[in-house]
Amino acid sequence: MKHKNSFLKVVICASCLLQIFVIPIPVQDQINKAINSVLTKPVYNIQEAEEGPATEDETRIEEDLELEEMFAPKHEQENEEAYQEEEEASSSKEERLPIYLTFDDGPSASTEELLDILKEYGAKATFFMLEPNIRKNPEMVARSFEEGHALGCHSVSHRVNVFYQSTDNMLWEMAVTSQAVEEIVGVGAPLVRVPYGSVPYMSNEQKEIFAEEGFNLWDWNVDSMDWRYKGEGYVNHTIEQIEALRSNNLNPVVLLHDLKTTVEYIPQLLEYLDEHGYECLPLNSEMAEVQFKSTY
């Protein structure tokens, strides 16, 4: 009742003040009628609910307040849980370890299946391709590029006695291979891997010439030996090397081949990588290359 009494006092004081100032009687009559209307109109307050039956408006207000108290905490909890899930997902993604799967000698009859599997696992890879195979399978080159994989050159001849016969021939084979890629996807392929690795075939001077010509020369630090351990054996051999590099805080660059037996068991390797916090990424020209150390 405290708020109601205060309100009435204000109205009564206003009525008294009207008597002090000189106001025409007709106007005073209209103002008095308005004041009397206010004085006779009920004033509701939620605090008066205990003093008498609640009105329809009071009941509605109380119900609204109850609903607000009932649902607001739930909404806040749901929002907080959603926020935590987003934070955990973001944190998990940030903490994943990079790994670089590279496939040599393609494209081949197995490339389409390989691309399907990589897509299923959300994995990106790098393909070091042979120029004749690029010409034979342009659709696989285009698809690899469109799906975010990196494209690289692996020579024309893939024969030691032909490719390494001179520095000029080495550069020519890579340039021709890059041109074949560009004709299909619109850009060349500066990433290169020489047949059987740079050591013992390339000198430090030749590596410098490759860099001057705009080629990024890549070897590897994990050899799957998938050409020897056909089947599940290459997966275990690869995992052992990956874990050894992990203990030394080194990012694995894995040598694989575009072979049917490799593709058949690649899901096992991808499962392991996913379960152990790895993210398969493509190589790029901005990265520091992994190269074998030449002795001359």
Instruction: Select which of 154, 226, 257, 258 is catalytic.
Output: 257
**Known catalytic residue at 258:** no
Which residue is listed with tokens 């916090």? 277
Distance (Å, whole) CA 90 – CA 137 = 38
257 is catalytic: yes
From the list 94, 178, 77, 88, the residue with the least C-alpha distance to 131 is: 178
CA distance 250 to 248: 6
Answer whether 15's CB lies under 8 Å from 42's CB: no
Amino acid at 108: S
Q: Which residues are CB-contacts of 31 (< 8 A; sequence separation ≥ 6)?
A: 18, 23
What the block records as the tokens of 222 is: 């994990």
Contact (Cβ atoms closer than 8 angstroms) between residue 187 and residue 147: no
Cα 203 to the chain's mean position, in Å?
A: 40
> Scanning the structure block, which residue is given the tokens 């410098």?
208
Which of 57, 104, 105, 158 is catalytic? The answer is 104
Which residues have a catalytic role annotated?
Answer: 104, 257
